[in-house]
Amino acid sequence: MQNSKIIFGLILAGLLTAGCGSSDAEDSAGGAAQKALPVAVDGPQKDVVPQREAGEKLKITPLPAMDAPFVEKVEHNLRQAVLRSARVAGETSAKCPDGVDEKAGAVSQCVATYEGVEVPYEVKISDSATEGSSLIFFETTPKMGLLVAKTVYDSLNEQYGSESGRTDASKLACETMPATKAVPFGKDTGYTCQYWSKFANKGEPGYATLRLKMGAQGYGLGFETVE
């Protein structure tokens, strides 16, 4: 039997929810960006599982048999980790091409895939592991973050949408982005989102622009206001 501590990127910060375009009056107003982005986000994304429910609703079955090789159990764990990170049901796979070293403190390199996108993982055996034990503790740590467009849109709505409690944001939207993409930790993803606000440009109406960034490991995606 194995127990794992899974560390993976989450979408933590807000995005926006966009309406359908803007009027000429809106486009002529001041703001960081006056052109509406193409992907309108008008509510929760129905396929996205809330983070608190991902462990229960996104399960890879069947579980490996009790007597299955240790590497198979690790690979199953990685498939589960990347799926819960995505928060949207999808095809997964995992492979540890050189196997998994079971010695105490050993580190092995593996790859999990979600919808064909590869995310490299590091698998570390517990420093207290004993040879021949039937119980091996290990940690799986992603080496890149996972961007899932639907999860981004859902988080944007959660942070800026009508149910967020905010009164200064409307017409949420994002640039077109791939359905799924692996992004290095601590890097700008190259994508932006926006929301319409009465106070976007030094107190004047306009679109406020948010830059989508992948945080450091364990912090996930977040938005940074573009001044």
pLDDT tens per residue across span 153-211: 999 998 888 778 888 889 999 999 999 999 999 999 999 999 998 887 777 888 999 99
- 4: pLDDT strictly greater than 60: no
Give mean pLDDT, residues 22-38.
Answer: 54
- Three-state SS for 138? strand
* pTM of this structure: 0.80
Q: How far apart are the C-alpha atoms of 118 and 121, rounded to whole Å?
A: 10
- 38: pLDDT strictly greater than 90: yes
- Three-state SS for 199? strand
Amino acid at 133: S
Percent of the chain past pLDDT 90, that is, above it, reads 61
